[in-house]
Structure 1
Amino acid sequence: MENVLVVGATGTTGKKVVKLLKTSQYFEPIAMVRKESQIKEFSEQDINTVLGNLEEDVLHTMSHIDKVVFAAGSGGTKVFEVDQEGAKKMIDASKNQSIKKFIMLSSMGADQPEKVTELKDYLKAKHNADQYLRASNVPYVIIRPGSLTNEKGTGKIEVGKTLHKQGSISRDDVAQVLVRTLDDDAPLNESFEILSGDLLIGSALDSIYKS
């Protein structure tokens, strides 16, 4: 079993990732929480936690961790502190601990934030974090979904290095993709975009891996 630190475990998408990992026979989730009051929710599900604040030192959160899923987000309130600098701190800590794989939940539009009119600061922060990860020598996968919805997942997506269109995707399906890219047979140092689509997630990811 590999220990996977889920950064942003208390968020809507992060919680889904933790639950999926808990049912896995290969991974053990470690939920990173910011407050002690958030521990109970996970301990009641027999899920281990570690206290960590992205605006402070996070090196201690990496003890006995094999892989990382970064699904944290500031919700637009602290994009520089959390989405950019917080991500950089986790990347530095991962490098220091020789983490096997760092899965970054980014966003469509983060490749060219200067071309968007909405959420420009957020996408610029995501862009900078993505670029920092690429240059870090930490093994990575960067996943850029379209607009996130709370609709029930379909288990089907559209995927591409660049999809050249806008759209949405359920958080259920995004969580599935994040977890599947943790597998050792998934390629490293790749970035791709995902939207709701017609291909089963496994088949869709196989297609991007072979491209």
Structure 2
Amino acid sequence: MPHDLFPPGIQHALDLAGIFVFATAGALLAVRKNFDVFGICVLALVTALGGGLFRDLVIGAVPPAAFGELSFFVTPLVAAAIVFFLHPEVQRINRAINVFDAAGLALFCVTGTTKAYEFGLGLTASASLGLATAVGGGVLRDMLVNEVPSLLRDREMYAVPAIVGASMVAVFIGVGMLNPLTTGLAIITTFVLRLLAIRYHWRAPLAWNRRSAVAEEP
């Protein structure tokens, strides 16, 4: 098993930051859907921990950090409580969801890739698992609220920024240049790319030469 790429404190802080912002995005979506307090907490937990839980099971890090670290379980509940009492007006919720979701996407594609590599996976496999870590919670969140997961439609490039960020981390690892500065660069690049995609409605291409008369679903 390779040595740790980051001191445990830095890795833990990045994980907690990702958990908090993803939990906030999940809780805000629950508010938009008019869920009660229990629904808000469940959606916050699923969004925050789903991707990391999948990653840990794949790499054999058992029990998963979500069950072994009390802070990983408490942090989403804190985010849910903050949203429950202090969420913005309804017309501003969608914007807040997008910003927090982009931040979680950026943080988790980095931490997922580095943790997978630390457990002995190759660079390509590590980047793939970093992507899964970043989008896994969002997929579960969307399924629970009966929406087509953003990953499958990739509206406004949901998965592409995570692929870019995870790939950047894998390249930095491969050339021996992964450090706090390059890690921050990967996080910022993913975050900004996702927000630009939302702002300018960038999206992944549809099927080549699609001529179906059926309108695309909203």
TM-score normalized by structure 1? 0.29
More strand by share: 1
More helix by share: 2
TM-score normalized by structure 2? 0.29
